[in-house]
Structure 1
Amino acid sequence: MRVAALLSGGKDSVYAAFLSSIMGMDPEVALINVPEEEHPMVYHRPNIHLAGVVARLMGLEAKHFKGSTEEDLAGAIGSVGADALVAGVVASEYQYWFLQEACRRAECTLIAPLWGRDPEELLREYTEAGMEVVITRVAAEGLDRSLLGRTISEVAGRLLEAHRRWGVSPL
């Protein structure tokens, strides 16, 4: 089975690819979307210019693609001959539907090991797995610029407090 990872270079897509490998489905190629919109609904945009570097560090071939439709993603999946796509979607029903639809069109299987998982549990898992996740952007109630440049393990307490107090995802 040829597995592709939808990779943004962010913590969720990297961890999903890691879990996929543990499950015996090693990604061989990273599909990296270069969003054309300022605020895309599906794809992670911050620091996307580093995703190719992250892919290489993970030992993956990097394949960049453009477009924001299910058909665009299906085309990218088909272009690398993938039978499965691993993605780091956690809670967005729209993103999950979008990925399912793209995989249906590409006739491949969606692997979403983070889907529906408790975000507090995932935050702990990222830290326990030794991930050095650096905060590069804040855009939620209860979080401010003082978090920038710090790791999630350093500020896990504040992230969890914001989650419990305002319902903000700690991820």
Structure 2
Amino acid sequence: MKVAVLFSGGKDSSYVIQWCIDQSYTIKALVSIFSMRPDSYMFHVPNIGLTRLQAEATGFIHIVRYSSGIKEEEVKDLEAAVRPLDIDGIVSGAVASEYQRSRVALVSDKLGLRSINPLWHMDSLVYLKDIINRNFNIIFTGVYALGFNENWLGRRLDDAALKELVELNKNYGVDLSGEGGEYETLVLDAPFFKRMIKIIKSEIIWEKDSGYLDIKHAELMEKGKNL
């Protein structure tokens, strides 16, 4: 099956790339939508520009389309991005967002394509344990819920972090996978990356009880070298 993968650079869209590889799908392109609004309804915004570097690390074709970020207009932007592609389906990393899943399905139906959501309603703890065990290098780039502090920014998602996420879930109701917007992530390395990403310069932006990691400069480097 020939597919396009909606790619934000975070853990979910990166995990489904690996899933496609495991299924022997042909990935024709990674598709990233750059929203002009920070509060996009459909698409990931923080550090979205780094998808260019990540796509280069994977070797897959990368398609970028800019969007006004206006509600429902974003759906038209997605349709315009995938319409020219020779594909059978669109793969997304939706976990529990019915809004996102239904809009991708709408575009897929209109274009006669399959809408494929490998993570849909997957157990979050099982999912996170799997992505950690597969040696994805994932860092937290935004935290927006009670219980988090600025020490989470730039921190790797590993077994220790997962244990703390479980506690945050118990104490504050934080969704383990961050599907409620509690946190954002960035993938620096994955099994299918040919090179990995090194952050050269970044700044923590923190206001009251939330913040994000503003990555100002990053580069590709060969795997196996010390960060």
Establish whether TM, by shorter chain, passes 0.5: yes
Post-superposition offset of 1:26: 3.0
**Greater gyration radius:** 2
Match of 1:19 in 2: 19
Identity within the alignment, %? 27
Post-superposition offset of 1:89: 0.6
For the residues of structure 2 that align with 1:88 and 1:52, how far apart are their CA atoms?
18
Match of 2:165 in 1: 159
Post-superposition offset of 1:79: 2.0
Match of 1:131 in 2: 136
* AA matched with 2:169: H
Match of 1:113 in 2: 118
Post-superposition offset of 1:165: 2.3
**Contact residue 17 and residue 87 of structure 1 kept, 8 A:** no
* AA matched with 1:166: Y
**Contact residue 28 and residue 87 of structure 2 kept, 8 A:** no
For the residues of structure 2 that align with 1:46 and 1:161, how far apart are their CA atoms?
25
**Contact residue 71 and residue 105 of structure 1 kept, 8 A:** no
Post-superposition offset of 1:50: 0.5
Q: Which has the higher strand share?
A: 2
Post-superposition offset of 1:66: 2.2
What are the residue-to-residue correspondences of 1:50-89 with 2, within 5 Å?
50-67=50-67, 68-89=73-94
What's the secondary structure of 2:120's corresponding residue? coil
Match of 1:46 in 2: 46
For the residues of structure 2 that align with 1:2 and 1:56, how far apart are their CA atoms?
20
**Contact residue 127 and residue 152 of structure 1 kept, 8 A:** yes
What's the secondary structure of 1:79's corresponding residue? coil
For the residues of structure 2 that align with 1:41 and 1:17, how far apart are their CA atoms?
22
The alignment covers a number of residue pairs equal to 171
Match of 2:7 in 1: 7
* Superposed structure 1 runs of 4+ greater than 3 Å apart: none
- Give me the TM-score of the superposition, normalised by structure 1: 0.94
For the residues of structure 2 that align with 1:94 and 1:55, how far apart are their CA atoms?
26
For the residues of structure 1 that align with 2:21 and 2:133, how far apart are their CA atoms?
17
Post-superposition offset of 1:13: 0.1
For the residues of structure 2 that align with 1:110 and 1:128, how far apart are their CA atoms?
27
Structure 2, unpaired ranges of 5+: 68-72, 178-227
Q: Which has the higher helix share?
A: 1
Structure 1, unpaired ranges of 5+: none
- 77-86 or 106-115: bigger deviation: 77-86
What's the secondary structure of 2:5's corresponding residue? strand
For the residues of structure 2 that align with 1:27 and 1:64, how far apart are their CA atoms?
16
Alignment of 1:141 with 2:141, yes or no, is: no
The Cα offsets for residues 129-170 of structure 1, whole Å up to 9 and x where unpaired, read as 111111111111211111111111041111111122222112
- 7-16 or 150-159: bigger deviation: 150-159
Post-superposition offset of 1:82: 2.3
